[in-house]
Structure 1
């Protein structure tokens, strides 16, 4: 027997969405996003059920204890305290015997061999094979075909064939971006590529930080941070308390207790007035003032003023916004396209999003709408 919680999409909008306007089209990529949330009784347990009017939108059972964002068509789920993976048909495509496992990147997922945080780690593929037959003290996600590995506080890089292409002998090494990684080894630092070729930067008063991205390197000098180019020429002087890599043409900076953004010439593009902020993604950035989140445009104007308890970055044109303790999706017109009814909500990724209602997780698959 089913008991309707809310009878229609519009009734939810009236109840929850007074702070932002509704999207009159109620659609996304051709999907009709009107839905009903109901419950059913199974074995004395109340189970929520989400049903979209558009039958091309497939919704899973809301029964999982944990569910990650989709990654290479699989989602990490949790059952009886262990992790495994399901696919978009809700098939269990791996055994649920991982104490810890990450999402898939470049065909491999990071996993830990035991229940203790100090247990060895490695990479597993979708067939359950251990990459290279090797475990390490720590491993990091594959990115651009390479992954950082660490043993006894020394770092190196492995490729997708399981070969160690950069020996595990560095005091620090970043992931490879734009063909180069930042390294530190004894008194040396600089850039290194996947062939092991080093571009050394010898200077005892400058400390290279982070990773090489879009042709630039963040560095620290006497507790202040600046940016260099790939030849170690300073393009932004070290006058900031914190400085991030450029993303979409802007870099986050911190002066005192406030955050702002610089352009690629080092000019202040957005004044330092935020308590915290994130990189720009899909043309917008999430910011915080006075404990409330909002979203800004590259010119510093607000798309959504900071008055929400949580606002995420945009992904595939939608941002997660929390209002009244519940989460939903907002589009780039600052309109609700899925109202805030979820206790937890993952980003829309590859046409799929995960959500939680009363501590149980499920997912919605919007991919079928793209064929319209």
Structure 2
């Protein structure tokens, strides 16, 4: 193929106008199924998958981290977890390794600490990748504020961010602190302690959850209810289950039906066939296998006409009808038409959608801001990425040339 212009990478300019990733299969080259760009931007970076391996691109479509990893998490607070040969490590946005890919298990950073597992034991890293709390624990959980759950010799306690024990491991099990209290189990029963290890609610619950918005779901004598931080039940009704409270409301489930309960213990909506709590004060509900949205008072805001709906992200929710996806706002207005074969959720102001073998990244107006294509001539060693009218040639993960097509 002849190129009209060859550009040295230093002077490469990539337009943010509409770009497309068109994939065609050909013998001896990478097939269409080897490519996947159906991921979300997080922290300014987006995963891509080529030939079974993951890498990352930025919002200009440049592959900054080569597709060399068997697994990759999304970026969060500047770090992503990657895996090769069943070992995990962290990478930075420029592709530099914060740690070697050597750990048996890793979790995302919570503040300046991240949980790791090495040689069968758990410890914690700092944000420089240093093992600042040695891997001496049998089990551990990520830090919640300034305390983390750990276990030694089969018993559970808490440490601070310096690794110093603040509550000795004397409990059978524990969950993290939330709103000043932590559920802990002793002799088969759950109670609640404060950060000074004082028992605030006695060990009498069969199951206990963490507090959120001052409310926890517990099972007492086989009955599910909700309590406040004084241990008082907020309702006389019994439920099979109650979700976490969000903005003063939660889903409840009883006798095969869903409802919505408020933080006073009053069931505001009952008799729902299926329901899912959304993150903007709305609830997705199903009627006759079709989905819509209602308010916490039961007012129908979006008529159930969709075969599936997603959660609201950045003001828009993914919906499906007749096998095609698009996006609506909380009033049910179609903002992005239902024409796509697949779609993700909005994140970082963009969303990935697929139409045929083409991936696009849209803004919240539905404008095609970014997409790119794996050229049909691509091989395992030489990846040709088309961004708008620009072809980028990567060899062994490194950008070799950038050229403009005719």
TM range (shorter): 0.5 to 0.7
Which residue is equivalent to 1:102? 73
Q: CA deviation at 1:347?
A: 2.3
**Given the alignment of the two structures, is residue 144 of structure 1 paired with residue 111 of structure 2, yes or no?**
yes
Q: CA deviation at 1:182?
A: 1.9
Q: CA deviation at 1:139?
A: 1.2
Which residue is equivalent to 1:305? 270
Which residue is equivalent to 2:91? 124
Q: 1:361 aligns with which of 335, 338, 343?
A: 343
SS of structure 1 residue aligned to 2:312: coil
Q: Are the equivalent residues in 1 in contact too, given 2:113–2:127 (CA < 8 A)?
A: yes
CA distance 1:134–1:79, shift in 2 (3 Å): closer
Alpha-carbon distance between aligned partners in 2 of 1:173 and 1:322, rounded to the nearest angstrom: 39
CA distance 1:308–1:164, shift in 2 (3 Å): farther
Q: Which moved more, 1:193-202 or 1:352-361?
A: 352-361
Q: CA deviation at 1:84?
A: 5.7
Gaps of 5+ in 1: 1-41, 44-63
Q: CA deviation at 1:253?
A: 0.4
Gaps of 5+ in 2: 1-21, 24-34, 324-340, 351-362, 366-406
**Given the alignment of the two structures, is residue 276 of structure 1 paired with residue 258 of structure 2, yes or no?**
no
Which residue is equivalent to 1:235? 200
Which residue is equivalent to 2:185? 220
CA distance 1:283–1:125, shift in 2 (3 Å): farther
Q: Which has the larger radius of gyration?
A: 2
**Given the alignment of the two structures, is residue 265 of structure 1 paired with residue 230 of structure 2, yes or no?**
yes
Which residue is equivalent to 1:39? none
String of CA shifts for 1:81-129, please: whole Å, max 9, x gaps. 6656677788877656654333333222333325xxxx11223333333
Q: TM-score, normalised by structure 2?
A: 0.62
Alpha-carbon distance between aligned partners in 1 of 2:90 and 2:235, rounded to the nearest angstrom: 41
Q: Which moved more, 1:179-188 or 1:231-240?
A: 179-188
Alpha-carbon distance between aligned partners in 2 of 1:261 and 1:76, rounded to the nearest angstrom: 40
Which residue is equivalent to 1:317? 281
Structure 1 segment 1-372 matched on structure 2, within 5 A: 71-72=42-43, 98-114=69-85, 119-186=86-153, 189-201=156-168, 203=170, 206-255=171-220, 257-271=222-236, 273-312=238-277, 314-351=278-315, 353-354=317-318, 358=323, 360-363=342-345
Higher relative contact order (CA 8 A, sep 6+): 2
CA distance 1:337–1:270, shift in 2 (3 Å): same
Q: Are the equivalent residues in 2 in contact too, given 1:327–1:343 (CA < 8 A)?
A: yes
Q: CA deviation at 1:220?
A: 1.0
May I ask how many residue pairs the two structures share in their alignment?
301
Alpha-carbon distance between aligned partners in 2 of 1:182 and 1:239, rounded to the nearest angstrom: 21
Q: Which moved more, 1:67-76 or 1:184-193?
A: 67-76
CA RMSD of aligned residues (A): 3.6
Q: CA deviation at 1:294?
A: 2.8
Alpha-carbon distance between aligned partners in 1 of 2:320 and 2:72, rounded to the nearest angstrom: 20
Q: CA deviation at 1:150?
A: 1.2
CA distance 1:72–1:177, shift in 2 (3 Å): same
Which residue is equivalent to 1:49? none
CA distance 1:141–1:236, shift in 2 (3 Å): same
Q: TM-score, normalised by structure 1?
A: 0.68
Q: Are the equivalent residues in 2 in contact too, given 1:208–1:217 (CA < 8 A)?
A: no
Q: Which moved more, 1:286-295 or 1:88-97?
A: 88-97
Q: CA deviation at 1:226?
A: 0.7
Q: Are the equivalent residues in 1 in contact too, given 2:55–2:68 (CA < 8 A)?
A: yes
